[in-house]
Structure 1
Amino acid sequence: MKILLATSYDYPHLGGLSTHMATLKIGLEARGHEVDTLSFSDVPKWKRDFIARGPSFLLNKASLGAGYVWTLKRRQAFLEEMMKRPDFPKYDIVNAQDVFATLASIQAGFPTVTTVHGYLTYEGISKGSVEEGSKHADTLMAVERDGYRKTRAVITVDTRIKNYVKKEAGIDGTAIRNFINVDDFKPDSENKAAYRAKHNVDATAPVFFVPRRLTKKNGVIYPILSFPAVLEKYPNAQLIFAGTGEAMDEMKKLIAERGIGNNVHLLGAVDHSVIKEYYALADVVLVPSVFSAGVEEATSISALEAMGSGSPLIACAVGGLKEIVNHGVDGLLVEEKSVEELSEAMIELLDHPDKGAQYAEAARKKIEDEYSHTAAAEKYESIYKASL
């Protein structure tokens, strides 16, 4: 088949959706399909900056959420415009990665299935882009329902999102949990010292790595709040964050207030190919997601990558994380927003590295057995064929 993976967001970018697209493309191509991508990044820059993004600031000043909705609708229009061009390639199926790409593809006349990665409306509320109960939130929900009802098939990345689509739109989707390239993310401990030297990380320091977009639902403030207790016992421990987002300023403030700036590092955006090196140099990976404005973590790609890379994982017991981590067998789960539980778990894995190694070994086996990109691509392929 000739397949197009389309999104109204940027691609590639740092985040789970982009990683999902790239990994699915590899899996589908391994099965003999021709796969292309289309995204907002393919729109001319002047259109992105002056039409889609430019007016949003002023619109939001007048009414919070107006600019957010404006930007998303312009993205849809730009994708639809490109897909309707006479020279645009023909595809057997378009797998849209969000409802705005879905509607653009349908309007352009392509057979379309949709992968739902999250809760569009509630995520907008969670990050402060729209107000709960506002007309703009109602508009976003109307777009969601429209897209889910018009697409030929809905795929969700976990069962909670499947239930959400059913509740809001009355559509039965198929849950296919997120996945990783198991050939790419694999244990690499033999290069741990080299990676620490490359990235100027103390060779002897205990290192916690947080590969998370810096947004509220990802709970990124909680490792900072938990870290002083860890430093009391391990004063040279290091806490490293890779990601950007609206929580950055709050995190910097908390770090300064606690006087732990020498031990906490905010790297900002890190290329996905380099993230692998941080998994390898870390002693423990943290995925501290929280419940926020109706939004729960799906099957976290960051958690899967950590488990595939041979790093012991501590995650919060929310959303899809509860599905993929078997507490005390292949990782540790802690109560969300519990500073004390998180610090205790961090100290536990430093006190007992042999226990962490056992978790990591079990986690790698689980990833190979259940979260392979090639196995997921086969499932997607079957849905594409059934939708034609």
Structure 2
Amino acid sequence: MKILQITPFFFPSIGGIENYVYNLSTNLSNKEHKITILTVNTENVQKEEIISEKVSVYRCSLNFRYHKGLISIEFIKRILSANDYDIYHVHIPFPLGLEIAVVASKIHKIPLVVTHHGEYTKGNVFFSLISSIYSKICRNISLKYVDWILFLTSSYSVSLRLNKKIRKKIKIIKTGVDIQRFSATNDGAILRKKYGFTANDKIVLFVGSLSIYNRYKGVDYLIRALHEIRSVNNSVKLLIVGEGKLVSELKELAKELKLEKEVIFATSVSDEELPYCYAMCDVFALPSISGPESFGIVLLEAMASGKPVIASGLPGVNDVVKDGITGYLVEPKNVKQLSQRILKIIKDVKLGKKFGRNSQRVIIEEYQWANIVEEFEELYNNAMCKNGDGGT
């Protein structure tokens, strides 16, 4: 099967969609499918890249960008001429990208599958207005003409305002995690030394992009929670893994709260080093404050690493974290509750280990790529049959 993955962002840009598209594509290629990833060159790197024998990337020139809205004339031309594929798979939010894919799908009679990863964050008033109009009108009209609409969780799908015709096309297919790479057998001792942690330090970990578009990650609330935690237990420290323009603001907040030495920023963590960051932490926290956080792949990475997880109880996220089983769900922006839950896990070592074991079990049962790829193959074949192709 020849599959065109259409995504607004891809590596070296860092984020949930980028990771999802890469992992889905490489795992599909292991089943002998040929994948082309068509994206926009937001990082101004080489346009063509061969990832493996069956996975290639083409990055189209970017003409204009406003917030996360991307305009690429080359992208429009490329997709309208992409007639040599069995399936289009679009990853949204991708204003204009989705609409152009719908047109190409109708022209070439190629089935179209969409994965809805979340909504854009609110920018200034003008962008928020445009984004709202697009979601309510253009996106919802476009979704009427796709074959299937995929969500990673059911709770996030029901949180969106979609009409009945669109909802009939919804399917839930979870994402997966590399259980060989992220494992409880990894040893984080070397990294503890690198970042200046002692054997007695208790480490809370956050992993995520800290670009100005990602304020919804709520890292400032986590820093404030640490301030409360250390008034009770001064062995707890916070490791923030991620880079972006928010780092300077967060460092200033840590300074205001006299936590310069207790909040450690790791802004240049390699792919090889990341699994060991999870390995050395005592608890992982994702304190997101709003809807754009529709899943949180980092939660799966932490769970696969055998760690207890704490996250905000948002649609999507609350399908991943099983409250009281793999960790805790907390109210968004509730610093007191966040600090109390972290302290409870830090204090009760047996409870933390129990949550960690439960996390690993959930990953093995529900989030293995081998099983997820089979679901995609079935879905793709179903879409091809609906369009008059017998499938493969």
More divergent stretch after superposition (177-186 vs 301-310): 177-186
The alpha-carbon distance between structure 1 residues 9 and 198, as it changes in their structure 2 partners (threshold 3 A), is same
- When the two chains are superposed, the root-mean-square deviation of aligned CA atoms in Å is 2.8
2:146 pairs with one of 132, 138, 151: 151
Rounded Cα–Cα distance in structure 2 between residues aligned with 1:169 and 1:257: 50
The alpha-carbon distance between structure 1 residues 9 and 138, as it changes in their structure 2 partners (threshold 3 A), is same
The alpha-carbon distance between structure 1 residues 42 and 333, as it changes in their structure 2 partners (threshold 3 A), is closer
Instruction: Name the structure, 1 or 2, with higher relative contact order (CA <8 Å, separation 6+).
Output: 1
Partner of 2:63 in structure 1?
Answer: 51
Partner of 1:286 in structure 2?
Answer: 285
Q: Shift of the alpha carbon at 1:186? A: 1.6
Rounded Cα–Cα distance in structure 2 between residues aligned with 1:187 and 1:247: 30
Q: Shift of the alpha carbon at 1:171? A: 0.5
The alpha-carbon distance between structure 1 residues 52 and 28, as it changes in their structure 2 partners (threshold 3 A), is same
Partner of 1:62 in structure 2?
Answer: none
Q: Shift of the alpha carbon at 1:366? A: 0.6
Partner of 1:374 in structure 2?
Answer: 370
More divergent stretch after superposition (318-327 vs 167-176): 167-176
Rounded Cα–Cα distance in structure 2 between residues aligned with 1:103 and 1:307: 36
Partner of 1:57 in structure 2?
Answer: none
Contact 1:165–1:171 at 8 Å: present in 2 too?
no
The alpha-carbon distance between structure 1 residues 48 and 153, as it changes in their structure 2 partners (threshold 3 A), is closer
The alpha-carbon distance between structure 1 residues 241 and 128, as it changes in their structure 2 partners (threshold 3 A), is farther
Percent identical among aligned pairs is 22
Contact 1:296–1:319 at 8 Å: present in 2 too?
no
Rounded Cα–Cα distance in structure 2 between residues aligned with 1:136 and 1:185: 36
CA offsets, 1:18-39, max 9 Å, x none?
1111221232123332223221
| 1:38 maps to amino acid | L
Rounded Cα–Cα distance in structure 1 between residues aligned with 2:194 and 2:85: 43
Alignment of 1:334-373 (within 5 A): 334-373=330-369
The structure in which a higher percent of residues are helix is 1
Q: Shift of the alpha carbon at 1:91? A: 1.9
Q: Shift of the alpha carbon at 1:340? A: 1.1
Contact 1:182–1:373 at 8 Å: present in 2 too?
no
Secondary structure of the 1:9 match is: coil
Rounded Cα–Cα distance in structure 2 between residues aligned with 1:22 and 1:49: 20
Rounded Cα–Cα distance in structure 2 between residues aligned with 1:42 and 1:216: 20
| 1:184 maps to amino acid | R
Partner of 2:315 in structure 1?
Answer: 319
1:207 pairs with one of 203, 209, 216: 203
Q: Shift of the alpha carbon at 1:213? A: 2.7
Unaligned 5+ runs, structure 2 = 48-58, 385-392
Rounded Cα–Cα distance in structure 1 between residues aligned with 2:218 and 2:332: 8
The alpha-carbon distance between structure 1 residues 244 and 140, as it changes in their structure 2 partners (threshold 3 A), is farther
Rounded Cα–Cα distance in structure 2 between residues aligned with 1:156 and 1:42: 25
Partner of 2:388 in structure 1?
Answer: none
The structure in which a higher percent of residues are strand is 2
**TM-score, normalization by structure 1:** 0.83
Rounded Cα–Cα distance in structure 1 between residues aligned with 2:368 and 2:84: 29
Q: Shift of the alpha carbon at 1:167? A: 1.7
Q: Shift of the alpha carbon at 1:296? A: 5.3
Q: How many residues align?
A: 361
